[in-house]
Amino acid sequence: MFDHAAPICNAGGLCNFAGTEQVLKWQIGDVRITQVVELTTASLGPHLLPQATPAAMQTIPWMAPFIDERGRIVLSMHALVVESLGQTIVVDTCIGNDKSRTYPKWNNMQGDFLQRFGAAGFSLEQVDTVLCTHMHVDHVGWNTRWQDGAWQPTFPRAEYLFAEDEWQYWRQQSQEYGPVIEDSVQPIFDAGQAVVVSQQHRLNDEIFLQPTPGHTPGHVSVYIQSKGESAIITGDMLHHPCQIVHPDWSTTADTDQSMAAATRTEFLRQYSDQPVLVIGTHFAAPTAGHIVKDGLAYRLSY
């Protein structure tokens, strides 16, 4: 597990380091966004993005924070806690503990995510909303936890929002990593805490969903706007900053690789050289930055 410092960054990209706590925070107008990391890994890259070889990564000067000492891409599994208009919203809930998974490193995992969540200043009971950008294994895991012999909602007071197209897809689709829907999504419906929403759903006056299909059919990103400042939480529309340089590099996890590439390409065109902070759901620290044109391509300015 990699450690990182804790700058508080505004929408203009200016950061102040906040002591020794290893939590990244950003302020977008009145909205505060806090990262809670479950784990970081350099082991998934060869399977997920085989195009992103160490040799290719080491030719990109600004890629240094996002690769390890061997040039392998680093991915972060983290939740983002968004505080907006009196609401506490958790975007994506990582992998989770105690769950049967076909990927050995995630099988019956015993991590300290809940302790990290508390150390970041949040209680499970204060969460009003959980939002999953999609229903892959590493985005819904802490929706539930094993208690009293059953999978129970981790956040007991929260509404859990799922995009309708995403839910309909996974109700019929086979799962690669184990019974993800059965242990991390269906129990939320059984508890009466699930809310199925459109891909353009507005959570409040500061936060709304933006369809970014391709990785999965109902995939959404999260747009945040407050007091003239803006940010986007990508979900898996972008897995790693190398896809900013190479938007045609679709991952092996994309259900429609052509659509995923087209969505990324349009996203980069729309948001390049704009005052919109892009927060990567799997980007290692510094995790966020601005998309800027770089000759005929793009880069992340952080």
Q: Which residues in the chain show pLDDT less than 70?
A: 1-22
At 126-154, the pLDDT tens digits run 999 999 999 999 999 999 999 999 999 99
The closest alpha carbon to 153, from 125, 119, 112, belongs to: 125
> What is the DSSP secondary-structure string of 105-126?
GGTT----HHHHHHHTT--GGG
Identify whether the C-beta of residue 153 lies closer than 8 Å to the C-beta of residue 193.
Answer: yes
Distances (CA, A) of 209 to 63, 86, 132, 223: 29, 19, 11, 6
The per-residue pLDDT for 174 is: 85
Q: What angle do CA 139, 83, 91 make, to 5 degrees?
A: 10
In angstroms, the CA 226 to CA 207 distance is 9
User: Nearest CA to 52 among 257, 256, 247?
Assistant: 247
Provide the pLDDT for residue 133: 98
CATH, domain range 7-301 = 3.60.15.10
For residue range 37-95, list pLDDT tens digits in order: 999 999 999 999 999 999 999 999 999 999 999 999 999 999 999 999 999 999 999 99
Pairing of the two strands 229-233 and 207-211 = unpaired
Please report the sign of the dihedral spanned by the C-alpha atoms of residue 115, residue 238, residue 49, residue 217. positive
Residue 22 is predicted with a pLDDT of 67
* Burial (CB count <10 Å: 0-12, 13-18, 19+), residue 46: middle
| Placement of tokens 């995923």 in the chain | 260
- Torsion from C-alpha of 161, 163, 167, 168, nearest 10 degrees: 150
